[in-house]
């Protein structure tokens, strides 16, 4: 029981201490309420009529004019922030011309299977990753980057592609499809 009295006394002391601290916090007092005293009608008559007219009209405050230089953006000679840095598209094709099946493949995904020499010109047989075969002649359009067969040799086909580099300039590159001959099996004479 003695212990409960100490705990109760300590509790009351801490509560009083908190009230004392918050009461002496040094905060600002709430602003005092002032009442407007209306001048008597006799005092209005004695006052200057021009000043009375100014006081009775609602006062119109003009906004303060700050003289700031007006900024205008001039995009001339600056990069467009919404345009990608790297153009991943090929050089532009004429619109309205449909793509051939060979133009939908990347040149590196085609495999040269055979080259047939003919008096009218050589013909090459290429195969896609699904095993479907296509014939190539000189001038055939191949690949996603406007590739064109420029030479068919006995062991390879040379394809020239045009593309746009990062700076937007049109460049050309040559790719070769090489004929891989199956190695002869040894042991037979």
Q: Report yes or no on 122 lying in a domain.
A: yes
Q: Report yes or no on 142 lying in a domain.
A: yes
Q: How confident is the model at residue 156 (pLDDT cuts 50, 70, 90)?
A: very high
The CATH number of residue 152's host domain is: 2.30.30.830
Q: Report yes or no on 40 lying in a domain.
A: no
Q: Report yes or no on 150 lying in a domain.
A: yes
Structurally, the chain folds into a number of domains equal to 1
Range of the domain at 150: 101-178
Q: How confident is the model at residue 159 (pLDDT cuts 50, 70, 90)?
A: very high
Question: Distance between CA atoms of 146 and 60, rounded to whole angstroms?
Answer: 72
Q: In the numeric block, which tokens belong to residue 140? A: 């055939």
Q: Report yes or no on 31 lying in a domain.
A: no
Mean pLDDT computed over 135-163: 90
140 Cβ contact partners less than 8 Å away, ≥ 6 residues apart: 102, 148, 149
Q: Report yes or no on 165 lying in a domain.
A: yes
């Amino acid at each position: 029981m003695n212990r409960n009295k100490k705990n109760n006394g300590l509790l009351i002391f801490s509560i009083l201490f908190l009230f004392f601290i918050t009461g002496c916090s040094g905060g600002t007092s709430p602003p005092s309420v002032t009442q407007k005293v209306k001048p008597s009608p006799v005092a209005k008559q004695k006052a200057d009529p021009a000043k009375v007219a100014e006081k009775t009209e609602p006062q119109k405050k003009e906004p303060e004019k700050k003289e700031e230089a007006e900024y205008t953006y001039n995009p001339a000679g600056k990069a467009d922030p919404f345009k990608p840095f790297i153009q991943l598209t090929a050089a532009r094709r004429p619109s309205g011309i449909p793509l051939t099946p060979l133009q939908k493949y990347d040149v590196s995904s085609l495999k040269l299977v055979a080259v047939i020499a003919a008096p009218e010109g050589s013909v090459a047989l290429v195969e896609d990753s699904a095993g479907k075969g296509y014939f190539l002649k000189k001038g055939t359009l191949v690949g996603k980057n406007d590739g064109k067969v420029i030479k068919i040799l006995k062991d390879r086909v040379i394809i020239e592609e045009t593309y746009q580099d990062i700076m937007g300039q049109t460049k050309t590159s040559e790719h070769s499809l090489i004929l891989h001959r199956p190695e002869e099996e040894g042991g037979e004479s």
